Amino acid sequence: MKRWLRWLRWLVFCCCLIISIESLASIMVEPSRFEFVLDPLEKTTGAIKISNHSDLPLLIKVNAYDWSLDKNETLITHKLGTTEHTLANYIKFMALVKIA
């Protein structure tokens, strides 16, 4: 019985490992991080490309925040649109769907 239980545990471990490796390889985000130095007189745009390398649909959640720095220059996030200098009216989220 113990031998069967060890074999079953090993099988479950291998299945979980394969599933986790496949889930890591199924999505790619480019770039993973970017920063803009903005000129107030010019329009600045950028894009993030998300690629799904699997046949399964993915649910992607994107968040945007207003932010400020405290006296120690620590980043503090605020709900988008709640600060005096918010960029909420200038941020657009678009979903482009490609049907193969």
What local confidence, expressed as pLDDT, does residue 10 receive? 57
Q: Low-confidence residues of the chain, pLDDT below 50?
A: 1, 15, 17-22, 25, 99-100
| Domain positions in the chain | 1-34+42-52, 62-100
What local confidence, expressed as pLDDT, does residue 100 receive? 42
What local confidence, expressed as pLDDT, does residue 75 receive? 86
What local confidence, expressed as pLDDT, does residue 71 receive? 92
Side-chain-facing half-sphere of 40: CA atoms under 13 Å: 1
In one-letter notation, the amino acid at residue 88 is A
Per-residue 3-state assignment (H helix, E strand, C coil) for 8-62:
HHHHHHHHHHHHHHHHHHCEEEECCCCCCCCCCCCCCCCCCEEEECCCCCCCCCC
> Can you tell me the distance from the alpha carbon of 25 to that of 19, in angstroms, rounded to the nearest whole number?
10
By CB atoms closer than 10 A (0-12, 13-18, 19+), residue 26 is: middle
What local confidence, expressed as pLDDT, does residue 82 receive? 92
pLDDT digits (tens, 9 = 90+) for 48-70: 777 777 777 777 777 788 888 88
pTM higher than 0.75 for the full model? no
> Can you tell me the distance from the alpha carbon of 78 to that of 16, in angstroms, rounded to the nearest whole number?
38
What local confidence, expressed as pLDDT, does residue 33 receive? 67
Task: Compute the C-alpha angle 67/70/74, nearest 5°.
Answer: 75
In one-letter notation, the amino acid at residue 99 is I
